Amino acid sequence: MSKQLRFFSDLDEMSAFAADYILQKAKIAVHQNGMFTLAVSGGTTPKKLFSILATDHYRNNFPWDRTHIFWVDERYVPETSDDSNYKAADDLLLAKIKIQKTHIHKIDTSLATPEESALKYEKELKTFFSYKLPSFNMVLLGMGEDGHTASLFPYTDVLEEKEKWVASTPAPLEINPKVPRVTLTYPVLNNSETILFLIGGEKRKALAEMFVDSEDVDFHKYPSAAVKDKGSLLWLTSLT
């Protein structure tokens, strides 16, 4: 598996590259199988990308009518909360493009517990992917300064999950917001056709350790290191 790492001078340049890369992948997926399945992460970094995808060029050229949007993970907060990954994507992108509501597969955080939410999301994935292990055309991931990705935090039980497609995780101790999460697990992430890491902000320490001695990186310390691709895995990072 080739790890491609590309550096960009700033977030705008990285996000512009990512938007075009995603558009190309979407067109290929729609041409090959009539639809494009995209799972997005939350956090700060993808917000610029979402805004770019809502500009006229992408609003008019992206195959939104054939695109299904999923979430890689979600914070267990109401979808009206500013900490909600769904809210960020909806405010910046989904509310500005023509996409059917049935193509938006959010993680429902209105249930009594994160566990119930994880079960409900997994049921939705099973229905959509006809009970076969999901293989998203593209998964957008971020990375925290502690090397986590999705809501796969260092030294947590979910890193060992081999069966569930979706799991709930306790509130992280170090990373804000310190709320329980619902997350895709490695079996699903690592079954994706294309994985695009978008890494903004000061993450150089984790990146350096993961790329310098990538063969024997302990994924319990840096969970991002255990993300493998089935097709292509591209790491984009901006130095600011």
**Is residue 154 a contact point for ligand 6PG (CB under 6 A)?**
no
| Inter-residue contact 140 to 39 (CB < 8 Å) | yes
Binding mask 81-110 for ligand 6PG (x = CB under 6 A): ----x-------------------------
Rounded-to-integer distance, Cα 141 and Cα 224, Å: 9
Q: Which of 39, 138, 139, 150 binds ligand 6PG (CB under 6 A)?
A: 150
Q: Nearest to ligand 6PG by Cβ — which residue?
A: 142
Q: Considering only 10-18, 144-152, 156-164, 165-173, which stretch makes contact with ligand 6PG by CB under 6 A?
A: 144-152
**Does position 149 bind ligand 6PG by CB under 6 A?**
yes
CA distance 72 to 227: 13
Which CB, 143 or 196, lies closer to ligand 6PG? Answer: 143
Compare residues 114 and 144 and give the one whose CB is closer to ligand 6PG.
144
DSSP states of 186-214: HHHHTT-SEEEEEE-SS-HHHHHHHHHTG
Q: For the chain, give me the number of helices (H) and strands (E)?
A: 7, 10
Cβ at position 72, least distance to ligand 6PG in Å: 6
| Binding pattern for the stretch 42-71 against ligand 6PG, x by CB under 6 A and - elsewhere | xxxx--------------------------
Residues 6+ apart with CB under 8 A from 71: 39, 40, 41, 42, 85, 86, 89, 105, 106, 107
List the one residue out of 89, 95, 91, 109 whose CA is nearest residue 38. Answer: 89
Applying CB under 6 A, the residues found at the interface with ligand 6PG are: 41-45, 72-73, 75, 85, 142-144, 148-150, 200-201
